[in-house]
Amino acid sequence: MTELDEKLCAFLDGELGEGEAAALRAALARRPELAARLAELAAVDAGLRALPAGAVAPDLRAKLERRIRAERSPGAARRPPRSRAGPGRRRRWLAAAVLSAAAAALALVVLPRLQHRETALANVEPAPIVEPAPADAAVSEDLPVIEVLDVLAELDELEGVGSG
């Protein structure tokens, strides 16, 4: 009876052609079980229409208005882009800048002294054999400041020897 149900539904919805609708009306008049089935299907629609509806909240229009206003405001349409330089990124940049400046300052101090040392050594008697400085005492980019200061102290001592 699926096909018949489908036809009854279309009839109920006013979607049958005039010829088909007339034929069905005649069948309904002859067959009470068909009429009962139509009533069952129609009861569904009546039941749906009788279902309670939630009331529209009194402030719903006001809430909608707020959202509309938010869309209307130019700020909503053109939010400033979020800065990519967050606090962490800024701190890292600052640390790199400080280290670069420190390296440059060290270079300015150490290089003239190294040049001065070469000149001084060239003018003195062969120096007593000095224990080679530990490898890690060499001035390098990675050298901690304390070790750099130690190297400078050694240079001062050598200068003292050279001039003495």
Residues 6+ apart with CB under 8 A from 109: 152
Handedness of CA 26, 29, 30, 34 (dihedral sign): positive
Q: Does the protein bind other proteins through residue 44 (CB under 8 A)?
A: yes
14 Rama class: left (phi>0) / alpha (psi -120 to 50) / beta: left
**Does residue 52 bind other proteins (CB under 8 A)?**
yes
Q: Which is nearer to other proteins, 40 or 157 (CB)?
A: 40
Task: Report the site for other proteins in 55-94 (rule: CB under 8 A).
Answer: 55-57, 60-61, 63-64, 67-68, 71
Minimal distance, residue 77 CB to other proteins, in Å = 12
108 binds other proteins (CB under 8 A): no
From the list 7-15, 116-124, 132-140, 151-159, the region that binds other proteins by CB under 8 A is: 7-15
Residues 138 and 121: their CA atoms lie apart, in Å, by: 18
Least separation, in Å, of the C-beta of 3 and other proteins?
A: 10
Specify the long-range contacts of residues 132-140, CB closer than 8 Å, at least 24 apart. Answer: 139/106, 139/110
Examine residue 20 and tell whether it contacts other proteins (CB under 8 A): no
Q: By C-alpha distance, which of 15, 16, 21, 12 is closest to 42? A: 12
Tokens matching residue 71? 């869309």
**For tokens 């405001």, what's the residue?**
73
Q: Report the nearest approach of other proteins to the CB of residue 94 (Å).
A: 41
Contacting residues toward other proteins, per CB under 8 A: 1-2, 5-6, 9-10, 13, 15, 37, 40-41, 43-45, 47-57, 60-61, 63-64, 67-68, 71
